[in-house]
Amino acid sequence: MATVQISDDILEGIKDKVILITGGASGIGKATAELCLKHGAIVVIGDLNSLPSDLETSEKLKFIKLDVCSWESQRDAFIQIEEWFGRIDHVFANAGVGPTSNLLDNSLDENGQLTPPDLQTINVNLIGVISTVRLAIHYIQKHSAHRASGELGSIVATASAASFQNFSAGDYTITKHAVLGLIHAMEYQLEGKVRLNAVAPSWTATGMVQSAFIEGLGVGVQQPEAVARSVALLFSDQQRHGDIIYSWDGNYLEINKAEGGFLEAADRIIVNSANEEMVVRKLREADLIA
C-alpha cells in the first residue's frame, strides 16, 4: 500500500481557493474548514446547524444554511457562492449522519401492515452526496477559466473504513460503500475535467462517535484534524484523481491505486486494523446505535 506523507508545503496549494464544505459546522467538516482557513483559502460552510461560537463569518469565511436532502437548497447554495466569489474551486461532500435504522425493523402501521424503511441516513449520506457531486462538477467546470492552465478543481467525498468491510450498521454501511462506487464509476468520465477523490477515516472523534466508549474497548479514536489534513491534500495535489485515502491515528494510506489493487489493499487494512465490526456490535449491545 502507498503510505502518504502530508507536508504543510503541499497544503499551500489551497491558498486563495474557494472551497465549499457541506456539514462544515462540526466534526471533520469544521476541522477541514479551520485548516483551509489557516492556509489562506476562502471557505463556505454549508450546514443545517449554525456555526459554533468559535467560528465567525468574515471575508474569508461564509455560512449558508444548507439541507443536503433538498436539491433546491444545494443548488441555491452553489448559486450564492458563485455570486459572492465568481467561482468554486473545491467541494468537500462531507455532510453525513450515523445509522438511523437497521433495515430489519418489523414495525407495523395502524392497519397492521409493514411500514417502509427509515431512509434518513441513505437520503443524507448517499442521495445528498450525489446531489453535491453533480452540482460541484457543473460549477467547477463552469469556472475553469479562472484557474491556471492545466489546473483542475476537485471534489472530495467522505467515505469510511466501513466502506470496504463487513460493518453491520446497515444503512450507514450501504451509503459508505456507495461513496466508493461513486469514485470507481466516475473517475474515468471526469479525467482531465474535475478531480474526484475520497477520504476513508477509521474511528474519528465526531458527534457521531462515542469516543470514550470505543476507547474503552481498546480501540484508538483519531481527532478530526487528522482527517482534515487528508482532505486538504486531495484539494491541493493536482496529481490526485480517483484516490481514496484511509486514515487512522494520524497515519495515511492511499488504497484505491495501491500495488495489488483496491481489494488487496482493503483486505490488508482489515487484517491489520482494529476489528471494526466488534466495535459496532458492542455499540449496539450498549444501545448506542440503531
Mean local confidence (pLDDT), 22-34: 97
The fraction of the chain above a pLDDT of 90, given in percent, is: 68
Mean local confidence (pLDDT), 42-54: 97
Mean local confidence (pLDDT), 60-72: 98
Residue 273 — pLDDT band, cuts 50, 70, 90? low
SS3 helix, strand, coil % of the chain, rounded to 5? 40, 15, 40
Domain count, the chain: 1
Strands of 104-243, DSSP E: 154-158, 195-201
Can you tell me whether residue 251 is helix, strand or coil? strand
Provide the domain limits for residue 119. Answer: 2-286
Q: How many helices (H) and strands (E) does the chain have?
A: 10, 9
Mean confidence (pLDDT) of the chain: 92
d(CA 206, CA 227): 11
**Nearest alpha carbon to residue 17 among 90, 84, 78, 81:** 90
User: Could you tell me the pTM of the whole model?
Assistant: 0.93
- The yes-or-no verdict on residue 270 having pLDDT over 70 is no
d(CA 281, CA 290): 10
Q: Which residues are catalytic?
A: 172, 176
**Count of alpha carbons within 13 angstroms of residue 263, beta-carbon side:** 0
The CATH number for 194's domain is 3.40.50.720
> Among 46-60, 114-128, 131-145, 208-222, which is the least confidently predicted range?
208-222
**Count of alpha carbons within 13 angstroms of residue 160, beta-carbon side:** 26
In tens, the pLDDT along 218-266 reads 888 999 999 999 999 999 999 999 999 999 888 999 999 988 888 788 7
Q: Answer whether 126's CB lies under 8 Å from 178's CB.
A: yes
- The yes-or-no verdict on residue 69 having pLDDT over 50 is yes
**Nearest alpha carbon to residue 139 among 70, 194, 185:** 194
Strands of 143-260, DSSP E: 154-158, 195-201, 244-248, 251-254
In tens, the pLDDT along 124-149 reads 999 999 999 999 999 999 999 888 88
Mean local confidence (pLDDT), 21-27: 97
Can you tell me whether residue 111 is helix, strand or coil? coil
**Nearest alpha carbon to residue 129 among 102, 152, 163, 105:** 163
Question: What is the predicted pLDDT for the residue at 272?
Answer: 46
- Strand partners of residue 195: 154
The fraction of the chain above a pLDDT of 70, given in percent, is: 98
d(CA 24, CA 103): 28
d(CA 204, CA 80): 31
- The yes-or-no verdict on residue 167 having pLDDT over 70 is yes
